[in-house]
Amino acid sequence: MEIKFYRFKVFQVLGLLTVLLASACSTYLTVPEVKAAIATPEPPTDTPIPTSTIELAWPTDTPVPTIFLTNTSTIEPTQTRSATPENTPTMNMATVAPTTDQKKDLPLEIIFPTEAPLEELDWRPPLYPIPWAINKNDHFYFTRPISANTINWPLWNYRYGGIYEKWEGVIHTGIDIDAPIGTPVKASAPGRVVWSGYGVYAGKHDSQDPYGIAVTLEHDFGFRGEKLYTIYAHMNEAYVETNQMVNAGDILGIVGETGATTGPHLHFEVRWKQNMFNSTLNPELWLAPPQGWGVLAGRVMNTSGSFFTSQDITIERADRKKAWIVRTYGEKYVHSDPYYRENLVLSDLPAGDYIIHIDYETTKYAYNITVNPGTVTYFRFKGKEGFYTDLPKVDGFSPVPEE
């Protein structure tokens, strides 16, 4: 079996802050040692992206960073971007651009443990304030619907685009957050209640509705000129009424296990353009990350350029002490971000160095990547061609919520 290894690296960021309907458990793996040799790869065919040095100045009176970019490379970039887009008076914006170099003839053997995996980290730093975007293509408009003093991150096997184990072929259109019955469910951003109770799927009262007791918010800001909605499902009780106005953090109800579920949890969705089941986007690209942590997004394709669907991808810490399994999106009812066009997202990663492992046909591919804090770090994989570092084309939409 041939093994290819690529390295994707950005200079370390200085001054970081310390940072579909059923429940399951968050899982990652311990990777104790590295042994086997790998072959020298062919480099990606894309134009290299310039090396950048990034300095972050963190003021004491505001959590929004001032960012300075200094280009130290003699290679011309393939894209240029304004450091401060128009209509963003409350944010300082910058693009965090990755750079690459090749690492050859390094040993690699992943030995997965047979014992049960360790528990997910049960601590997170405070979240970035919303709206948050230090990259002009990000849109962290929403805060977590569960308080930070408990688990408020997605269950690993019930992420967006996954396929239900119990209902084969049914695609998960949101994320599930494990929480005990009675946990307060909070509004993730300001808006108006447009649904409260049973029937959010059918659009009329139905005690057998798969969402159970749910609340839908139509937010008082939009994205690319279209409306945004969030869904909070499987609650035991809803405390709000239709047409009621709420602010971020207001309690909408409490966690339960109503509807099609095997245990108590919160199902959370982000809908764009229309308040419909098939109008969702991945919430992990919309929920503000913990301070000093970031989000990894990837477009994983086969050699012909089609999505590599429902495939388990391993994201491993560079020190090989921990790994996460993330599954690419299924084929129906889910949508990629209009900019990133991704089919894989892993949020809540502490900023730092990681290795992406993808098995494609008879070859194992590995890719070194640095996850940057407070933003989306992006990669692309195309079958036998391996990994690429080029970012999607910039198409000029605003990074802040539209009034």
Residue 54 has pLDDT above 70, yes or no: no
Q: 118-146 burial, b for 16+ CB within 10 Å, e for fewer?
A: eebeeebbebbebbbbbbbbbbbbbbbbb
Of these ranges, 104-108, 169-173, 241-245, 309-313, the one predicted with the greatest mean pLDDT is 241-245
pLDDT over 70 (residue 373): yes
Q: Judge whether residue 83 has pLDDT over 80.
A: no
Is pLDDT at 1 greater than 80 in this prediction? Answer: no
Q: Comparing 332 with 8, which gets the higher pLDDT?
A: 332
For 383, phi then psi, to 5°, come to: 50, -130
Fold of 2-118+286-388: Immunoglobulin-like (2.60.40)
Confidence of residue 395 (pLDDT cuts 50, 70, 90): low
- Region 1-19: mean pLDDT is 41
Alpha carbons 234 and 269: distance in angstroms, whole number = 12
User: In whole angstroms, what is the distance from residue 114 CA to residue 4 CA?
Assistant: 26
Residue-wise pLDDT tens digits, 246-262: 999 999 999 999 998 88
Lowest mean pLDDT among 69-73, 132-136, 155-159, 221-225: 69-73
The pTM is what?
0.69
Q: What is the pLDDT of residue 403?
A: 55
pLDDT attached to residue 303: 96
Residue 156 pLDDT: 62
Residue 53 has pLDDT above 50, yes or no: no
- The structure tokens listed for 298 are 């990837």
- Four-residue CA torsion sign, 160, 95, 223, 393: negative
Q: Give the tens place of pLDDT for each residue, 303-358.
A: 999 999 889 999 999 999 999 999 999 887 789 999 999 999 999 999 999 999 99
* Residue 116 banded pLDDT, cuts 50, 70, 90: very low
Residue 306 CB-density burial (10 A; 0-12 exposed, 13-18 middle, 19+ buried)? exposed
Name the more confident of 237 and 100: 237
pLDDT (tens digit per residue) in 176-195 = 888 899 999 999 999 999 99
Residue 88: is its pLDDT beyond 60? no
- pLDDT for res 157: 63
- pLDDT over 70 percentage in the chain: 64
Cβ–Cβ under 8 Å, residues 319 and 30: no
Please give the pLDDT value at position 397: 46
d(CA 128, CA 19): 10
CATH architecture of 175-285: Distorted Sandwich (2.70)
pLDDT of residue 401: 63
Mean pLDDT value across residues 19-48: 38
**Domain segments of the chain as ranges:** 2-118+286-388, 175-285
Task: Supply the pLDDT for residue 113.
Answer: 33
Mean pLDDT, the chain, integer: 74
Amino acid at 91: M
Given this model, what pLDDT does residue 163 score? 65
The closest alpha carbon to 4, from 356, 391, 301, 299, belongs to 356
User: Average pLDDT of 99-128?
Assistant: 47
Mean pLDDT computed over 276-287: 94
CA distance 2 to 108: 12
Query: What integer pLDDT is reported at residue 102 of this predicted model?
Result: 35
